[in-house]
Chain A
Amino acid sequence: MIRFLSRRILSGVLTLFAISGVMFLLFYVAPNDPAATIAGPQATNDQIDQVRARLGLDMPILERYWLFITGLFQGDLGYSYFNKEPVLDSLVRRLPATASLALGGLVVALALGVTIGIGAARKPGSWRDKLGTTFVLTGLSVPTFVAGLILLYVFFYLLTVMGLTFFPAAGYVPFTENPFEWARHLILPWITVGFVAAATYARLVRSQLVSVMGEDYIRTARSKGIREGRVVYRHGMRNVLTPVVTQISLDFAVLMGGLVVTERIFGINGIGRLAIDSVNRGDQPVIIGAMLLASLFVVIASILVDLAYAMLDSRVRVK
């Protein structure tokens, strides 16, 4: 077990190194010059050089990379080119918003997806199956921004025009400040994220459950006289649990780095929003920081997932 874990951690660390290296390389070969952008269009070459020196952009790339790595181990991700704020701080500050969005979205996705998946699996090929599957596939087929736009149009614009201003247009209110407002602002984004992600779970649950229900031990359970409901939920779902749990953790990690579009449409100040703004500004340290943070989530999630597999499967756990 320890050997396995250490191998996975080593692999994850290598991954992060590789990603940071690639990012550095990308920026190095990129045509645009943050120093020029920051100095402004009016600046003289001298002024641009000054800015460059100040930002440390005149050092050779390997040295810069080395500084970055050593800084990393001390928890220092550098400073934003634009507002001098430590990158780590700005990322951490925006973490709760993205996390709330991701978590709530996943809850919606699970509620929708698992229910439809189970319903479909119990009567494969039936109307219930087709309808449910089509519904979630619609979610998968529609790009996030379209879903978001349409939801905004219907629930915000049209309702507001009609005089029902329940759903706000934009913004994020921290949970600690006002739970009710927090939820109210997040309902539409949650539905957006959840509707799109539900299909993954519906498909997963459906196919896993259908194949599990064809297994011999389900037949044995029925032959003992166990009632059908219990057979499905206790005996059947137990083996579906593992892939669903692993999918959840992976999805969460991926979402943490991928809610760019939703955050932009609904005006939520999360990591995704920060990242895209930084890209537009050429704010390298923030971009790299955001990328690494997102990758870190995925790496940790995949290690946890492997552990979970070992934990949940008695055949592996008990030797």
Chain B
Amino acid sequence: MPEPTVDPVVNETPDEPNAAQVARSGNEVAARSPFQLVWTRLRRDPTAMVSASVILLVIIAAIAAPLIAAWVGHGPDEQFRKEGLTPSGLPTGPNEEFLLGADNLGRDLFVRLIYGAQLSLIVAFVATVGALGIGTLVGMTAGFMRGKVDTVLTWLMDTTLSLPQLLFAISLVSLVGPSFGTTVIVIILFSWAPIARVVRGQTLSIREREFVEAARSLGASNWRIMRVDVLPNLVVPILVYGTLLIPQAIVFEATLSFLGLGVLPPTATWGNMLAAASTGSMYTIAWWMLVFPSAALLSVTLAFNLLGDSVRDALDPRQTLFAKKRRVKKLKTKEIAK
């Protein structure tokens, strides 16, 4: 199978002295561990810092949703037909009462937006953790054990990847009934396979590395090697994939809700708020119903995507101009000793 598009590369430190090794020379500079190096690089990246701030802001807002609702004085599902709708029944735009306007049922858009954030984030995190867990387990086992286990697991991955995502999700949900739980399960169902493939690929190359051979020569069991030697080297690709998966999950949930197959109203999610905006072309009259949820959706997912890219760059400095190559001395003897 061809390599997946996301290919987080395990960082290969050059053989020549780098900042982390500065401590060994006479001049005393504190030694820096790989984690510290990555953190320092991230801190210097403005995009990463801005994205991280946005995400933090949204998380805080989501946690504080009930407080905000209390402060504004409107609940997320309360319909204010008198204040929220014009005499002819159309929603009112942004004013002092409704900070971001009201929707077609007179509900406060601002408050609903915050509650929507709560939901989107919870779905995304739960689904991501679930998909990462399953994907890593399957991928690592397949890549390390090889043989029949690998064949079966890879076939399972391929089949899941061949399923038309949206179609299947729609069929499944329409049969089982839309809900929060179904949405999470559906997202996990479709997200574990690409992760498993990436993890499998990484495991395949890790298992050829000399330190795995060394562990074997020490008498380590397969499980020990997987746990102690392979898994720590998978942390990087998993982390990177995780940051990419979260926004995908948010988008998936929003799409399902938009189609009426995710979380149903009156619970507020950005997806079904946008659905309400597009029914009957409501957005042509009430532009705020389209713009604000879209902006919220866009900023959060964009922030996650940019942060993910920055994390990947910080973990793999080869992606910048100054790249040093590792020296290859006579390592040719490896070719036969396989």
A and B touch in the complex (CB under 8 A): yes
Measured between beta carbons, the chain B residues less than 8 angstroms from A144 are 255
A210 to B171, CA, bound (A): 41
Nearest CB of chain A from residue B55's CB, rounded to whole Å: 13
Q: How many residues of A are in contact with the other chain, CB < 8 A? A: 66
Contact A150 B168 (CB under 8 A): no
Query: Which chain A residues (92-141) contact chain B, with CB distance < 8 Å?
Result: 123-125, 130, 133-134, 137-138, 140-141
Measured between beta carbons, the chain A residues less than 8 angstroms from B255 are 143-145, 261
A30 to B176, CA, bound (A): 7
A150 to B297, CA, bound (A): 13
Does A78 sit at the interface, judged by CB under 8 A? no
Query: Which chain B residues (1-37) contact chain A, with CB distance < 8 Å?
Result: 1-3, 5-7, 9
Chain B interface secondary structure, helix, strand, loop or mixed? Answer: helix
Contact B175 A30 (CB under 8 A): yes
Binds A, one of B122-130, B219-227, B299-307: B299-307
A27 to B174, CA, bound (A): 10
Measured between beta carbons, the chain A residues less than 8 angstroms from B287 are 153
Measured between beta carbons, the chain B residues less than 8 angstroms from A275 are 167, 170
Measured between beta carbons, the chain B residues less than 8 angstroms from A134 are 47, 302, 306
Does B205 sit at the interface, judged by CB under 8 A? no
A280 to B278, CA, bound (A): 19
Query: Which chain B residues (121-174) contact chain A, with CB distance < 8 Å?
Result: 155, 158-159, 161-168, 170-172, 174
| Count of A-B residue pairs with CB < 8 Å | 169
Known: A145-B258, A291-B167. A19 touches B162 (CB 8 A): yes
Of the candidates B9, B155, B170, which one forms a contact with A14 in the assembled complex, judged by CB atoms under 8 Å apart?
B155
Binds B, one of A35-43, A66-74, A302-310: A302-310
Does A260 sit at the interface, judged by CB under 8 A? yes
Q: How many residues of B are in contact with the other chain, CB < 8 A? A: 56
Nearest CB to that of B47 among chain A residues?
A: A130
A143 to B270, CA, bound (A): 11
A272 to B167, CA, bound (A): 8
Binds A, one of B80-88, B99-107, B207-215, B316-324: B316-324
Nearest CB of chain A from residue B211's CB, rounded to whole Å: 23
Contact B161 A298 (CB under 8 A): yes
Of the candidates B161, B251, B284, B319, which one forms a contact with A210 in the assembled complex, judged by CB atoms under 8 Å apart?
B319
Known: A32-B175, A138-B302, A141-B247. A302 touches B5 (CB 8 A): no
Contact A149 B274 (CB under 8 A): yes
A208 to B323, CA, bound (A): 14
Query: Which chain A residues (181-231) contact chain B, with CB distance < 8 Å?
Result: 199-200, 203-204, 207, 210-211, 214, 216
Nearest CB to that of A169 among chain B residues?
A: B281
Query: Which chain B residues (237-279) contact chain A, with CB distance < 8 Å?
Result: 247, 251, 254-255, 258-259, 271, 274, 277-278
Contact with B along A285-319 (1 / 0, CB 8 A): 00100110011001100100110010000000000
Measured between beta carbons, the chain B residues less than 8 angstroms from A18 are 159
Nearest CB to that of A294 among chain B residues?
A: B164
Nearest CB of chain B from residue A129's CB, rounded to whole Å: 10
Measured between beta carbons, the chain A residues less than 8 angstroms from B277 are 149
Contact A214 B161 (CB under 8 A): no
Nearest CB to that of A126 among chain B residues?
A: B321
Does B309 sit at the interface, judged by CB under 8 A? yes
Contact A23 B171 (CB under 8 A): yes
Contact A302 B1 (CB under 8 A): yes
Measured between beta carbons, the chain A residues less than 8 angstroms from B170 are 260, 275-276, 279
5 contacts between A and B (CB under 8 A): A31-B175, A143-B297, A149-B278, A257-B166, A261-B258
9 nearest A-B residue pairs (beta carbon): A257-B164, A141-B301, A294-B164, A30-B175, A141-B302, A246-B2, A298-B162, A15-B159, A143-B251
